[in-house]
Structure 1
Amino acid sequence: MSTQESAGRARQNTIYRDGVFGKRPSVPTDFAGLEAAARRKMSPKAWAYVHGGAGSGSTMSANRAAFDRWQIVPRVLRDVSERDLGVELFGRRLPAPVLLAPVGAAELAHPDADVAIASAAGELGVPYIFSNQGCAPMEESAAAMGDAPRWFQLYWSTDDDLVDSFLDRARRISADAIVVTLDTTMLGWRPEDLNLGSLPFAQGQGIAQYTSDPVFRRIVRERIAAVTEKPEVKVTLGAVKALLSMTSRYPGRFLDNLRSPEPRAAVETFLDIYSRPSLSWSDIESLRERTSLPVLLKGVLHPDDARRAIDAGVDGLVVSNHGGRQVDGSVAALDALTDIAPVVDGRLKLVLDSGIRSGADVFKALALGADAVTLGRPHLYGLALAGRDGVRDVTANLLAEFDLTVGLSGLTSVAEIDRDALRRV
Structure 2
Amino acid sequence: MTPSREPERRARDVLDPVHFDALAGGAGSERTLTGNEDAFVRRRLRPRVLRGPGTPDLSTHLPGARLAAPVVVAPTAFHRLAHRAGEVATGEGVAAAHGLLTVSMMATTAVEDIAETGAALWFQLYVQPDRAFTADVVARAEAAGCRAIVLTVDSPVRGRHVRDERHRFTDLPAGLVCENMRGRDGRLRDLVVDPDLGWDAVAWLRGTTSLPVLVKGVLHPADARLAVEHGVDGVVVSNHGGRQLDGALATLDALPAVVDAVAGRVPVLLDGGVRSGVDALVALALGADAVMVGRPVLWGLALSGADGVRAVLDDLADALAHAMALAGAHRPADLTPDLVVVP
Indicate yes or no: 2:127 matched with 1:180. Answer: no
Candidates 150, 153, 159, aligned match of 2:124: 153
Deviations for 1:339-374, whole angstroms, at most 9, x for unmatched residues? 111011101211100111110111011111111111
Query: What's 2:324 paired with?
Result: 406
CA contact (8 A) 1:183 1:322 kept: yes
- Structure 2 vs 1, CA of residues 113 and 185 (structure 1 numbering), >3 Å: closer, same or farther? farther
d(CA) in 1 for partners of 2:122 and 2:171?
23
Contact 2:63 2:234 in 1 (8 A): no
Structure 2 segments unaligned to the other structure (5+ residues) = none
Partner letter of residue 197 of structure 1?
R
Q: Encode CA deviations 1:216-260: one digit per residue, 9 max, x unaligned.
A: x3xx4xxxxxxxxxxxxxxxxxxxxxxxxxxxxxxxxxxxxxxxx
Contiguous gaps of at least 5 residues in structure 1: 1-29, 221-265
Amino acid at match of 2:273: G
SS in 2 for 1:185: coil
Provide the C-alpha distance between the structure 2 equivalents of 1:274 and 1:388, rounded to a whole number of angstroms: 31
Q: What code does the residue aligned with 1:151 have?
A: W
Matches of 1:283 and 1:91 in 2, distance apart? 21
Which amino acid is the alignment partner of residue 299 of structure 1?
A: G
Check the 8 A contact 1:167/1:291 in 2, yes or no: yes
| Larger-gyration structure (1/2) | 1
Q: Using the alignment, how far apart are the partners of 2:114 and 2:323 within structure 1?
A: 32
Deviation sequence 1:287-344 (CA, Å, 0-9, x none): 2211111101111111111111111111111110011111111111111111111011
Aligned partner of 1:274 in structure 2 is 192
| Pick aligned residue for 2:176 from 195, 200, 205 | 205
Q: Which residue of 1 aligns with 2:297?
A: 379
CA 1:370–1:206: 2 relative to 1, 3 Å: farther
Q: TM-score, normalised by structure 1?
A: 0.77
Aligned-residue CA RMSD (Å): 1.6
Match for residue 77 of structure 1 among 46, 50, 53: 50
CA contact (8 A) 2:32 2:249 kept: yes
The runs of at least 4 consecutive aligned structure 1 residues that moved more than 6 Å come to none
Give the match for residue 394 of structure 1: 312
SS in 1 for 2:116: helix
Aligned-pair identity (%): 39
Determine which of 213, 229, 234 is the counterpart of 1:316: 234
CA drift of 1:79 comes to 2.0
How far residue 71 of structure 1 moved from its aligned partner, in angstroms, is: 1.1
Q: What residue number does 1:190 align with?
A: 161
| C-alpha distance in structure 2 between counterparts of 1:181 and 1:397, whole Å | 28
- Structure 1 position 83, deviation (Å): 1.9
Counterpart mapping for 1:231-250 below 5 A:
none
Give a deviation string over 1:185-244, Cα, whole Å, max 9, x none: 332111111001102458663411123x415x3xx4xxxxxxxxxxxxxxxxxxxxxxxx
Relative to the length of structure 2, the TM-score reads 0.95
Give the length in aligned residue pairs: 341
